[in-house]
Structure formats: structure tokens, C-alpha cells
Amino acid sequence: MPAAGPSGNPFRNRRMCDAAHDGMLITLRCNGCRRTLHFWAADLVKVVGEHHQVHLAPWPCSRCQTADFIDVSWTVPGAAMLTGLTVRRPVRKIERWLWRNEKA
């Protein structure tokens, strides 16, 4: 749990690479749709980059289309917490073509 609120100075806040190094589990709870998801910080580093500030939602809620309702928390999980816990893990990155209509 964060000892204090985030600083206005991004360099003083915990970064995703710090959380990954510490083996942290990041929990995103959306208070809009009341969905809670758990991620390994080590996985999120690959997606949002090393310098992403941990207290900021990595992406908007896919159901609510906004990050406004997302609470981010983080912890080094103990064995008891991990028992039976479902963690979202990246499977693979999908690339796809975007198309647009143009005058011939």
C-alpha cells in the first residue's frame, strides 16, 4: 500500500519498473462497473513502460471507457493472497491493419 499519496513530481512516485523489481501485484478496481482485476507489475512494464507511475491507471476501463473511476493499489502479495487468485496475464500482442476510405 502506498505510504503517502502521489507526489506532483513524477520522479518521486513509484514507477512500474520499481514495482516489477519488488514483485508487486497491481490491482485495478473500477468503481464505475465494480470490476476488479489483478496484474503483475512485471507484465505491465511490457505494456506501459518502465517509467509509468504506478498510481495512474494504465488504461481506461474497457467497460466504462474511462479511467476516471479506477482505483489503483499495489502490494507484494503473500502466499495467502495468491491462493485461488486470478491474475490477468498477457498472452500475445495483436497487430492489425487500420483501413480508411480515400478518393480514388
Q: Which residues bind Zn ion (CB under 5 A)?
A: 30, 32-33, 61, 63-64
Q: How far is the CB of 17 from Zn ion (least distance, A)?
A: 27
User: Considering the complex, what minimum distance in angstroms separates the CB of residue 32 from Zn ion?
Assistant: 4
How far is 83 from 101, CA to CA, in rounded Å? 51
Question: How many CB atoms sit inside 10 A of residue 100's CB?
Answer: 4
Instruction: Give the phi and the psi of residue 8 in degrees, each rounded to 5.
Output: -70, -20
DSSP β-bridge partners for residue 38: 27
Cβ proximity to Zn ion, 26 vs 42, nearer residue: 26
Question: Cβ of residue 67: shortest distance to Zn ion, in angstroms?
Answer: 9
| CA dihedral of residues 65, 19, 43, 86 (deg, nearest 10) | -80
Indicate the residue among 17 and 56 with the shorter CB distance to Zn ion: 56
Which residue lies nearer to Zn ion by CB, 12 or 63?
63
Phi/psi for 38 (5° steps) reads -115, 140
Kindly tell me which of 30 and 54 has the beta carbon lying closer to Zn ion: 30
- In whole angstroms, the minimum distance from the beta carbon of 30 to Zn ion comes to 3
